[in-house]
Amino acid sequence: MKIRHGTGASRRVTALALIAALAGCGGGDAGDSNSYNTQAAWTSLSTEARTLNLSGNYQGVAMTMRLVYAAATSASVSLSADVTRAQTVTATATIAGEANTSSTAMWLDAQGRYLGSSSALPLEPTDECTLATSSQLPPTAASVGQSGTLSEGVIRAACTVGAAQIGTYTMKWSVEAIDGKTWFCTTSVNTVSSEVFTGKDCHVVTPEGSLGGGARFTLKTVAEGQTLELLFKGS
């Protein structure tokens, strides 16, 4: 995830969206006493095909974001022998007629634990990789207000053996009440030097862990004393 090298607004926003897309929300209210199968929700988010059309605002200008989730054509990754399946996420941001597209491949093991990712970003010469040092699945039962860690690891400058480590990341899950609904969310925080990028991805969830009926993306970067924060909503 790189905002620092981009020059166009839609390019920066598209890159931000990929943090959120790898990170997820679902339905209920603040008084919700249901138990939610967050493990099933994570499995749905990380393996099922879906397309989301979202809208937001950037410095007073209306913008759109289209996210397409699909199974990757190959799950073979030289940097991790444990990868058995993968999912690609393609993000296209359009602002004032300028469109930019980025893609990320997310790697999973046989149980569905997050192992890392490779991101192809606009105008970047190499892919940027995240590699997990620890990962776990969310529980099969969780209530509103509960959260936990999905994965922690390092960020490398490229997806090649020996590439330099340039940062670290953490990814967490949570069940939250937002706008009268209960959501399954994942939040990813990437730290590269003094820059911090946060993406929070939420989808409407049923107690059984099915997703659908709404999505929210909160995207934030803090770099060089400046903060960029965006909210997208849609389905």
Q: What is the pLDDT of residues 17-74, one digit of tens each?
A: 554 555 443 334 446 789 999 999 999 999 999 999 999 987 788 889 899 999 876 6
Tokens of 132: 């997990």
> What is residue 157's DSSP assignment?
S
Per-residue pLDDT, 147: 97
Per-residue pLDDT, 202: 94
> What is residue 142's DSSP assignment?
B
Cα 74 to Cα 61: distance, rounded to the nearest angstrom = 38
Per-residue pLDDT, 21: 54
Question: Structure pTM?
Answer: 0.83
Is residue 62 one of the residues assigned to a domain? yes
User: How many CB atoms sit inside 10 A of residue 223's CB?
Assistant: 15
User: How many CB atoms sit inside 10 A of residue 74's CB?
Assistant: 8
Is residue 1 one of the residues assigned to a domain? no
Range of the domain at 129: 9-234
- The mean pLDDT value for 89-107 works out to 87
Is residue 177 one of the residues assigned to a domain? yes
Q: What is the pLDDT of residues 14-31, one digit of tens each?
A: 555 554 555 443 334 446
Q: What is the pLDDT of residues 178-223, one digit of tens each?
A: 988 999 999 999 999 889 999 999 999 999 999 988 999 888 889 8
**pLDDT band with cut points at 50, 70 and 90 for residue 5:** very low
33 vs 10, more confident: 33
At 181, give phi and psi (nearest 5°): -130, 160
Is residue 115 one of the residues assigned to a domain? yes
Is residue 13 one of the residues assigned to a domain? yes
User: Dihedral of CA 128/103/178/227: which sign?
Assistant: positive
Domain count, the chain: 1
Per-residue pLDDT, 184: 97
Is residue 2 one of the residues assigned to a domain? no
Q: What is the pLDDT of residues 100-153, one digit of tens each?
A: 888 888 889 989 999 998 887 655 555 678 999 999 999 999 999 999 999 999
| Summary mean pLDDT of the chain | 83
